[in-house]
Structure 1
C-alpha cells in the first residue's frame, strides 16, 4: 500500500472561512479539556500519603479509570448532546482532536519526555476529515462535509490509480490549504545499492560537503531575518493584547516564520535533487540530532535543520530510485580516507585534513565525507580498496566492484 500527500491551496468564502475558524476553536477546546482531564488524573496519583498539600487536593476516587482515548471519545458523544457548538462540528473532526492528543501521549512515553501542552488561542491550525465515500475533488473544486464546495488550485493532477482517503485542512498565514492523503494498492520496491557512491558530511561552516569535493554554502535562513523578527516582537510587546494592531503584528510574525520555513524547505529539496543527479548511492552520517539541538550552537544547528534535510533526502532518493543509507558517524574526521590511519582529534578551527602518514591534504569536511562513503560501501557489502600514492599523484587501484570509492567530478555543480 502506497501513501502520498499532495498539498493544494483552497479559497473558501467568508461564511465558509468563519465556519472553519469556529471548528478550529472547538477542536482546540476539546483538546485542552481532554488534556486537563488526563493531567488531573495523573497528578492525583502523585501525592504521597504522608505529604499531602495543605492548600488543595484532587477529589478523584481511587477506582476511577485512566481517561484514555476510548473513554474520552465516549464522553465526547454525550457532551455533543449538551453543547450546541460541538454539535455543529463534524463528529470525526472532533474525534481526530482526541486522537491527536492520544498520539502525543504515546510519543511522550516512547521518548521519555515532552509532556503535551495546552493549545493557546490560535495555536490549533488544522483539522482532518478521516474518510470519504467517494472522490471529493471534482474539477477545480473540493467538497468538504458540512462546509460545502470550495475552490481548489489543482496545480498538479492526482495520479491515476490513487484514491483520496483523508483530507487535512490547514490554516496558515498565507491562507487555507488542503492536504490530500492519497492511497494506491501498489507495492514499490526499495532501491538497491547500485551506481556511483557518494558520501556527505553535514556541518555549520559549510552546509554540506560531498566526497567528490563539492562544498555547499550554508544559507542563514533564520539568522539573517532574526533582526526583523526581533523588531516585530518588540512592537508586539508594546501593543495592547488582542487589539487590532496586536493581531496585525501577530500576522506579520506568522508570515515571517512561514517564509523562513518555505525558503529552507525549498533549499533542502533542491540540494537533495542535485545529490541524486550525481550518484546512484548516497551515504550520510547517522547523527544524534538531539545533542546538537541543545549545545552552544543550538540556534545555528536548528536553523540548518539537518534532520529535516535527511528526511527529505531519504524521500527524494526513494522517489528517484537512488539507494540511501546512514552509517556510523564516530570519528569520521579522525581517519584518513587515503591510507586509513588515525590522525587524531581535530579542533573546530582546523579546517584542513593533513595526514602525517601519507601526506594526503584536502578539506576536512570532504575527507569526512569520503570516510562516510567508504563505510557505506562496507555496510552494503562492497569491496573497498583504498587508492595508493605514486609520488605526488594519487593512482587509484582498479576496484573489484568497478565503482569509485571517493566519487569522481560530475558535470552537475552546486551553484
Structure 2
C-alpha cells in the first residue's frame, strides 16, 4: 500500500531536493541521448552516408541497456563530480525509470520517452531503507537528515517501509511511503446485497439500485479563475521572479482541482461500500469510450 503524507523541508533541504531533481534529470537525458544515438547509428544506408551528419558508432557496440548504463555511473562520477551529490541509489532509480519507459514503448505500446525539460523532473525515489525512516513527527532521508512530516494517519503495525518517493507538486512537498506486510488475504464467498455499477460519460455512475451520480465538473467550476491566472502568467517575463510566483499560483489551482477530484472519488467509493456487500463493475477501458464520444460529437 502507498500512504502519502505532507512533509515540510527547510530551505537548505528544499534546495538540495531541487538540485538532486535537476541532476537526475540530466542523467535521465544523457541516458536517453545514448539510446537515441545508438538507434540512429543503425538507420543509415549501407552504400551511402547523410550529407548533413552521420552517427558513427562501431557496428559491434552493444545496446546501452540498463545494466551497462548503471555500471557506467561510478566512472561518470569521477568525470562529473556533481553526480556524487545525489545518493547513489536515487541516481540509479532515474536511469531505471528511463528503461521502464523504454520497456513500455516496446512491450505495451506507449510513446517513446522524451527529454525532460528544466523543472519537469518532479520526484525522487529512495528504494530501500535499513531501518524505519519514520520516527515520531520526522522522516529521515539520506544526506538530508530529519524532515518534519504530518502523519495524519499512523503506519499500521506489522507493516515495513519498503521505499519512499519524494514528490513536489505546486511547490508543496509530499512523501509517498510504500509499506508492505506479508499476510494472506482470503477470497471471500459471495454474500449479502449486490450492487452493479455502470460508469458512463453523461453521468458519473449509475447503480442497480437506481442511484444516479452527476459528474461534478470541478475544472469547469474553476475555469474562470484559471483563465485569469493564466492570462496574468502569459504577460510575465519567463524565468523572472514574478513569473515563478504566478506559475505557482496556476499550479496550485490545478493541484486543488486534482485533490478535489480524488476526494470525490474516495467518498463515492466509500458510499458504494457502505450501501452493499458486493460491488460489480464492467471491465471496460473508459478512455476509448471518451475518445469515441468526442469523435461523434465533432462529427
Band of TM-score, shorter chain: over 0.9
Q: Residues 290 and 216 of structure 1: is their aligned pair in 2 closer, same or farther, counting only changes over 3 Å? A: closer
SS in 1 for 2:72: helix
CA-to-aligned-CA distance 1:77-136 (integer Å, 9 cap, x gap): 211122121111100000000111111111122222311111111111111111111111
In the TM superposition, residue 209 of structure 1 has moved relative to its aligned partner by 0.7
* C-alpha distance in 2 between matches for 1:290 and 1:157: 35
Does structure 1 retain, via aligned residues, the 8 Å contact 2:171–2:248? no
* C-alpha distance in 2 between matches for 1:258 and 1:82: 39
Q: Which has the higher contact order (CA 8 A, sep 6+)?
A: 2
In the TM superposition, residue 293 of structure 1 has moved relative to its aligned partner by 4.6
Q: Which has the higher helix share?
A: 2
**Map of 1:151 onto structure 2:** 148
Residue 253 (1) aligns with residue 242 (2): no
**Map of 1:116 onto structure 2:** 113
Deviating beyond 6 angstroms after TM superposition, the runs of 4 or more aligned structure 1 residues are none
* C-alpha distance in 2 between matches for 1:65 and 1:191: 51
What count of residue pairs does the alignment treat as equivalent? 297
* C-alpha distance in 2 between matches for 1:16 and 1:31: 22
* C-alpha distance in 2 between matches for 1:259 and 1:60: 49
Name which of 1, 5, 15 aligns with 1:8.
Answer: 5
In the TM superposition, residue 171 of structure 1 has moved relative to its aligned partner by 1.2
* C-alpha distance in 2 between matches for 1:53 and 1:228: 52
Residue 297 (1) aligns with residue 294 (2): yes
Using the size of structure 2 for normalisation, the TM-score is: 0.93
* C-alpha distance in 1 between matches for 2:293 and 2:29: 34
**Map of 1:239 onto structure 2:** 236
* C-alpha distance in 2 between matches for 1:49 and 1:128: 43
Q: How does 1:10-409 map to 2 (within 5 A)?
A: 10-49=7-46, 52-173=49-170, 175-295=172-292, 297=294
**RMSD, aligned α-carbons:** 1.9
* C-alpha distance in 2 between matches for 1:288 and 1:151: 40
Using the size of structure 1 for normalisation, the TM-score is: 0.68
Does structure 1 retain, via aligned residues, the 8 Å contact 2:201–2:290? no
Structure 2 residues not aligned, in runs of 5+: none
Structure 1 residues not aligned, in runs of 5+: 299-346, 349-415
Q: Residues 281 and 119 of structure 1: is their aligned pair in 2 closer, same or farther, counting only changes over 3 Å? A: same
* C-alpha distance in 1 between matches for 2:113 and 2:67: 18
* C-alpha distance in 1 between matches for 2:140 and 2:79: 29
Q: Residues 22 and 180 of structure 1: is their aligned pair in 2 closer, same or farther, counting only changes over 3 Å? A: same
In the TM superposition, residue 50 of structure 1 has moved relative to its aligned partner by 5.4
* C-alpha distance in 2 between matches for 1:9 and 1:136: 15
SS in 1 for 2:218: coil
* C-alpha distance in 2 between matches for 1:33 and 1:156: 40
CA-to-aligned-CA distance 1:329-362 (integer Å, 9 cap, x gap): xxxxxxxxxxxxxxxxxx99xxxxxxxxxxxxxx
SS in 2 for 1:224: helix
* C-alpha distance in 2 between matches for 1:131 and 1:276: 34
Does structure 1 retain, via aligned residues, the 8 Å contact 2:204–2:214? yes
